[in-house]
A and B are shown apart, each in its own frame.
Chain A
Amino acid sequence: MHFYCLWQDIWVTASTRLAILSVLLAVSAIGTYVLMLRIAAVRNHPEGYVIAFAIATLLAVLAVARGRGRRWPAWVALGLTAFLLVMGSWFNFIYARVPESPTAFRVGEPAPDFTLLDASGKPVTLADYRGKKPVVLVFYRGYW
């Protein structure tokens, strides 16, 4: 499975192929996640990109091993994928975590009433919807 033409011909070694595959996998994982954020199945499983980074790092380790440490593309791939794995893991398991704490509302109890202003300055009062329509409250951070 490995054939060398010239020692400088990096494009035909198995090590380089593995390195390219590893980087492609990592980049595809990022691309997929970013482009498909609208799809709940993708958005709700961010651990997917961490797993992809882990596999990509493994492939890069194999690339280095196959090249016996002498092929620079393998080292570049390893550096890149290991970096993505560390950053992705930190982001997903540490930074993006929201600590649990008890909420001040419960199923079966009335939702706390409030009045806030909407974009045109009109007040919106939750109690005004009683007897009219159900309400879905979506609390979000407002920025990335």
Chain B
Amino acid sequence: MGELQGLGAQLSEAEKAGVEIIAVSPDANEQSQKLAEGLRLGYRFVADRELRVARLYGLVHKGGGPEGQDVPRPATVVVDKDGVVRWFSVARNYQVRPDPGEVLAVVRSLKS
């Protein structure tokens, strides 16, 4: 949640309209969406229940969950208006997420 809060805090209203942030995780959507609404963050939370999309992206950490289940590798991917990957960051330590400022700098550079 820390990274999402950081991103939301730094995006101006205008920018929020110009970029879509999609948060992908296997957990129950309702809780995340309620949390996001409570924090007034403009994200879309989607449920990747069987890690189908995480697998599609090669972002599965086998047995990395607290009960030994497969979990997604935390990652941030910036996709431009043509659907092309322009930047990404994959975590080596799940406590560490990319600096929101860095992500936003990439997003802003796409417009030029």
Seen from chain A, the residues whose Cβ lies within 8 Å of a Cβ on chain B are: 37-38, 40, 43-46, 92, 96-114, 116-120, 124, 126-127, 129-143
A66–B92 alpha-carbon span in the complex (Å) = 41
Q: Provide the B62-94 mask, 1 if CB < 8 A to any CB of A, else 0.
A: 001110000111111111111111111011111
A106 to B64: give the CA distance in the assembly, Å: 24
The list of the 9 closest CB pairs from A to B, nearest first, reads A142-B27, A119-B33, A104-B58, A142-B25, A116-B46, A119-B29, A103-B58, A137-B77, A111-B79
Main secondary structure of the interface of B (DSSP, over half): mixed
* A136-B19 in contact given A111-B83, A124-B46, A130-B83 (Cβ < 8 Å): yes
**How far, in whole Å, are A109 and B47 apart by their CA atoms in the complex?**
24
The answer to whether B73 and A139 touch across the interface, beta carbons within 8 angstroms, is yes
Partner of A98, one of B43, B48, B61: B61
B residues with CB within 8 A of A: 2-7, 18-27, 29-30, 32-33, 43-48, 52-54, 56-59, 61, 64-66, 71-88, 90-97, 99-101, 103, 107, 110
Nearest B residue to A131, CB-CB: B81
Tell me the minimal C-beta distance from B77 to chain A in angstroms: 4
Instruction: Check A46 against B48 for contact (C-beta < 8 Å).
Output: no
Q: Are B4 and A104 in contact (CB under 8 A)?
A: no
Q: Are B81 and A139 closer than 8 Å at their CB atoms?
A: no
Hey, which chain B residues are within 8 Å of A43, CB to CB?
2, 95-97
